[in-house]
Amino acid sequence: MAAHVKPKALENFKARDFRMLIDGIWTEGAGDPIERIAPGHGIVVSRYPAGSKADAERAIAAARKAFDDGPWPSMTGAERSNILLKAADLIAARAEELAFLDCIESGKPISQAKGELGGAVDIWRYAAALARDLHGESYNTLGDGTLGVVLREAIGVVSIITPWNFPFLIVSQKLPFALAAGCTTVVKPSELTSGSTLVLGEILIEAGVPAGVVNIVTGTGPEVGAPMTTHPDVDMVSFTGSTGVGRLTMANAAQTLKKVSLELGGKNPQIVFPDADLDAFIDAAVFGAYFNAGECCNAGSRLILHKSIAAAVTARIAELAKKVKVGDPLDPATQVGAIITPQHLQKIGAYVEDATKAGASVALGGAALDLGLGQFMAPTILSGVQPDMAVAREEVFGPVLSVLTFETTEEAIRIANAIDYGLSAGVWSRDFDTCLTIGRKVRAGTVWMNTFMDGASELPFGGYRQSGLGRELGRHAVEDYTETKTLNMHIGARTSWWMPR
């Protein structure tokens, strides 16, 4: 592998300084700024304010006032839709800038970041359409004296907390739907990848979102995230991140019985039968394992292969994985970029080491790569993995593929379900009866059949069990940010309880 060199795009690069957005005003933090070191290049690329509890509380107060007294909740669906459509156009116009920020701050390949921006634009446009289609119900079948109307009203102030692995895409799976419903928001991006979300703040102001409707506070979870989940003026929390922090978020929100939407971890299986289109599967296996360097809740990190094909298929996956280009995130040809932090790289390596000590074999990779700058992990395949090993049950969140085997359909389903997660799964077979059997019995929010990690704005996304609560995307996503209210209307004279005798 060639030595890593500083790309021309960064030769005259100067770190970008950002400010927080509170009540329509860009503001500095009280403390020293957070400096983000690019995981693929080893240089400071961004500085954000280190927000405090007081900053979070000011943002919550601004969102509360904007919801209770401002124009946003009372706008027509068409008015909100038009603003969201303008935001989508502005995101598209600044896509290169946004993709560059996500690339250098997260270490993801620039080609992938650009693809994610295209997906995000589509989501904003889809949410804009739903703003005009949000409606309640009416019941005129309750008798001549009664008419029932069920309203959908914006839930209120929403705290949105997003992770570092898909900085712009994940905020786009939450924020436009909350805005479409008429909510006001406080957004906390990861302190590792805040840049593109702060640029989004500029875009939303230009699009016409009123002051206080979207507030963006940067900082750490304990300082900023915690008050966003406990404050009594927050009506709902939408969080994406680790299952451990998700549990803490839920416990915090329970103090005031807030509504909670959680998109958490996954340990997603791909179950492969001997009659599958193996050429298509092998490509999907490599993509599912190494997309975003495996730092993806949807990663296909568990292969459950029929025993009769396991050895040959594993060898073919290893041959294709050797061709995956690991390197400079700013190189358009790169397929696997840098690992988010040195500490996370060590954690990934520890999983591999523990698995080999437990009896698994390294079929490919297994170690960090020295490319001169930043931190990188070789695409790794572990064979001989048993269902009770940590690497088969826990979310590694790195480019590590675990290979398990099965003999019967029932055994495959049992292995797939024998973990705490249930985000997604895949099944590969030319027999559609087999696919439907797996699809109905595997406990996961999405089951792909003869494909993997496909998606569309129209399709709901979320998990079973410890993979989270609620669903993002799809037509019901906007409804997640609403409450239902029943109007029970009586027509004509009412019969008195105190009947005359």
- pLDDT tens for the chain, residues 1 to 501: 344 456 676 778 899 999 999 999 999 987 789 999 999 999 999 999 999 999 999 999 999 999 999 999 999 999 999 999 999 999 999 999 999 999 999 999 999 999 999 999 999 999 999 999 999 999 999 998 999 999 999 999 999 999 999 999 999 999 999 999 999 999 999 999 999 999 999 999 999 999 999 999 999 999 999 999 999 999 999 999 999 999 999 999 999 999 999 999 999 999 999 999 999 999 999 999 999 999 999 999 999 999 999 999 999 999 999 999 999 999 999 999 999 999 999 999 999 999 999 999 999 999 999 998 899 999 999 999 999 999 999 999 999 999 999 999 999 999 999 999 999 999 999 999 999 999 999 999 999 999 999 989 999 999 999 999 999 999 999 999 999 999 999 988 877 777 665
Task: Quote the CA–CA distance of 357 and 351 in Å, as a whole number.
Answer: 10
The Cα 11–Cα 155 span in angstroms is 48
**Homologous superfamily of domain range 269-449:** Aldehyde Dehydrogenase; Chain A, domain 2 (3.40.309.10)
Domain range 8-264+463-485, CATH class: alpha beta
Closest CA to 221 of 196, 203, 241: 241
How far apart are alpha carbons 157 and 377 in whole angstroms? 40
pTM value is: 0.95
Which of 105, 297, 395, 472 is labelled catalytic? 297
297 is catalytic: yes
Q: What is the reported pLDDT for 6?
A: 61
- State the span(s) of the chain assigned CATH 3.40.605.10: 8-264+463-485
Give the start-end residues of each E strand in 339-394: 361-364, 368-369, 376-377, 380-383
* Gap between the Cα atoms of 364 and 234, Å rounded: 48
Instruction: State the DSSP string of 431-458.
Output: -HHHHHHHHHHS--SEEEESS-S---TT
Distance in angstroms (rounded) separating the CA atoms of residues 219 and 240 = 16
The percent helix, strand, coil of the chain (3-state, each to 5) is: 40, 20, 40
Q: What tokens were used for 327? A: 């390197």
Q: Is 183 a catalytic residue?
A: no
Which pairs from 459-462 meet CB under 8 Å and 24+ separation?
461/173, 461/263, 462/263, 462/423
By C-alpha distance, which of 218, 331, 335 is closest to 283?
335
Read off the tokens for 414.
């049992």
In 384-423, which ranges are E strands?
A: 400-406
Residues 6 or more apart whose CB falls under 8 angstroms from that of 232 comprise 256
Q: Distance (Å, rounded) from C-alpha 26 to C-alpha 348?
A: 38
State how far the Cα of 317 lies from the Cα of 279, in Å rounded to an integer. Answer: 10
Strands 184-188 and 157-161: parallel
At 1 the pLDDT is: 36
From the list 36, 26, 32, the residue with the least C-alpha distance to 49 is 32
CA distance 154 to 228: 18
Report angle CA 246, 126, 242 to the nearest 5 degrees.
15
- pLDDT at position 501, please? 56
428 forms beta bridges with 272
- For residue 499, the model assigns a pLDDT of 64
For CATH 3.40.309.10, list the domain ranges present in the chain. 269-449
What span, in angstroms and rounded, lies between the C-alpha atoms of 113 and 479? 29
In 3D, which of 259, 267, 301 has the Cα closest to residue 469? 259
C-beta of residue 432 within 8 angstroms of C-beta of residue 457: no
Q: Choosing from 263, 295, 395, 472, which is the catalytic residue?
A: 263
